[in-house]
Chain A
Amino acid sequence: MSVTYIDAIHQAQLDLLKERDDVFLYGQDIGSFGGAFKATQGLQERFPDRVLDSPISEDAMVGMAMGAALSGMRPIVEMQFADFSSIAFNQIVNHAGTHFYRTGVPVPITVRLPCGGTPGSGPFHSQMVETLYAHYPGIIVATPATVSDAYHLLKQAAVLDDPVVFCEHKFLYRWLKTEAIEAEPLPLGLARIARPGKHATVVTYSAMVHEAVRAADRMADEGWEIEVVDLRSVKPLDTDTVIASVARTGRLLALGEAFPWGGVSAEIVSRVVAEGFHLLDAPPMRLNAKDTPIPYHPDLWAAHRPTPESIIEKLRELLNL
């Protein structure tokens, strides 16, 4: 029996509710309906007092979670779509994000953000928002790419004492499967080598890990060995693993599904250039989505985000330099 990415998120929440009395879930339609993506299916039945439907009030949802966290609970808030977390932005970055520094009292909340594009979802149900939250101090940003990470990073997030923005990719929900969740989790904060190689490094996270691996697989037919680094969390950002990979390959492509202005891929390039300039055999490159809102039509959407084809094109350019 296989486990999907969304199964892992469901299982992590179920296990947290079972293991800890202080965990509760809060979000729109997450009760008897089981959530827009069924990440909480059947959980309210088992934990009626700790799986609560919220009004359509993202600001108040996070404010409420923060208050509960200050009173000893460990809330997990489900945003129906990451895009809607813009309404909760103030509570996340200004209220929760500043709290430990200001008062010395940490705020153990986890905000789950179903992010990233799927065909036909359009401008307001497809966005990547990890850059926004990573920019602000006081917030941890997890970006799982695998089924096992979806499970373990969510479980780790819920027991961390600080606010965690948990970016789960909707495109992976049902498509990505594994036979069993790995027993030995890697800690949050460490990147992993998703595919080893020696000619160039692709540093990425979330769903783009799979696109990068596909691109690398195809290039292997031509003899190129491309290393893919899965960041797992963009804050903290495991610069050591990235630099070590660039030291092996001498070439860097920073890849992300987010908009191109600034962001995680720019941060990676910046760190590698600043700390590992001498390791580079060619100028580092970036590949992101296009600088427009995310289009509705599946053909436009597929061309808006990086694809194995556009990644290969970029890698060829990088390898020819």
Chain B
Amino acid sequence: MAPFTTVSPHASTSVDAALKLMTLKVMISSRTLESKLSSLYKAGKIVGGVYLGTGQEAFSASLGCCLDQELDIFAPLIRDQAGRTGFGEPLIEATRTYLGSVLGPMRGRDGNIHRGRPAQRRPAMISHLGTSVSLVAGMLMARRMRGELKGVVGATCVGDGATSTGAFHEGLNLVAVEKLPMVILVADNQFAYSTPRERQFACEKLIDRAKGYGVAGSEVDATSLTACLEVISGAVQAARAGEGPQLVVGKLLRLCGHGEHDDASYVAKRLRESNLGKDCLEVGIQEVLDEGLVSEREINEWKREAAERVQEAVAAAQKDPTPDPYQEDWKAVSEEGMQ
């Protein structure tokens, strides 16, 4: 169950085949894991909620796979299982957190997508949207103050809903003022929970805001793996090369509910059948098949391997001990006598 390793994080703008195949593999892994998590939730094995990134895997995985796992910072959000896997988070961290294992990074103290390992440059998100933008900015500024910023990129993801928050605005403005090497992905997935984008903002295109903030901006058809990798690898390289913050808006449709408790019946059939509603995993597979990079047989083999790895990660986490309220230290601060 070794995590995925980055393929050529410093590659040239033209997306090489190895990176594309690795990203597709990550997408397959993510879809497989999330499908299993949904089943576990519906079977009552996971409490609280399950939040999926169905339809957003190409966008998210492209970022995770373009970052340098040894150097960069990645603060994912709710729909970034693919990005997390692409950035090297082992699957067992997802299953342990969802199942409340004490051996997971959150030890049953927080659950589902609220997980991370800050020491490995993977901050643990909170539910309040937009807060990670300034957090990553601070992680980059600490490196700048110590003279260790060269070559480092910080990245975070939000959705179109998060762009309405004060935290997002304050954070992105700060990132722009400090000219930080940061990539901010906005998954414009048409709905924030059930609220359509026309009730969320009034500008024609979210990417128009890039100019207002004074950052570079690009928009991408996020249903296409090829397009996502081209645009996002370009943004990561530009940030790494010292060209300042990069805002990337991905146009897509969330192909699931807000969480698995939500049937997303508010999404119009017309929208689901539009180009935005294409499944990026199917598109991505077709793209690599058309390019002759891999055979259908190999892809089926990847799916089988992914199912095996997911099964292993679930089985292992299910055997783990769960927290014992009588053994819990109930400490909210690290210093003795300060509570």
Contact = CB atoms under 8 A, between A and B. Distances in A.
Contacts of B332: 97-98, 100-101, 137-138
Contacts of A161: 334-335
Interface string B93-122: 000000000000111011000101111000
Interface string B304-335: 00000000000000000000000000011111
Contacts of B35: none
Contacts of B109: 101-102
Contact of B146 (A67, A72, A101, A189): A72
Contact of B118 (A49, A70, A98, A162): A70
The 5 A-B pairs at the shortest CB distance, nearest first, are namely: A67-B138, A63-B134, A71-B142, A60-B170, A57-B170
Contacts of B170: 55, 57-60, 63
Interface string B129-145: 00111111111111101
B139 to A, nearest CB: 4
Given A65-B138, A68-B138, A103-B106, A236 B338 contact: yes
**Among A58, A69, A71, which residue has the most Cβ atoms of chain B within 10 A?**
A71
B138 A64 contact: yes
B171 interface: yes
Contacts of B205: none
A70 B131 CA distance: 14
B139 A236 contact: no
Interface residues of B, number: 45
Given A57-B174, A60-B167, A63-B134, A189 B338 contact: yes
Interface string A29-58: 000000000000000000001100011011
A188 to B, nearest CB: 8
Contact of A55 (B131, B145, B174): B174
A95 B126 contact: yes
Contacts of B114: 102
Contacts of B145: 24, 49-50, 68, 73
A91 interface: yes
A90 interface: yes
B105 A103 contact: yes
A106 B333 contact: yes
Given A60-B171, A68-B142, A236-B339, A102 B106 contact: yes
Contacts of B136: 67
A103 B141 contact: no
Contact of A138 (B123, B146, B333): B333
A162 B138 contact: no
A224 to B, nearest CB: 34
Contacts of A104: 107
A133 to B, nearest CB: 13
A67 B334 contact: no
A162 B335 contact: yes
B192 interface: no
A60 to B, nearest CB: 4
A62 B133 CA distance: 11
Contacts of A243: none
A58 B305 CA distance: 47
A161 B333 CA distance: 8
Given A66-B135, A95-B128, A103 B118 contact: yes
Interface string A99-125: 111111110000000000000000000
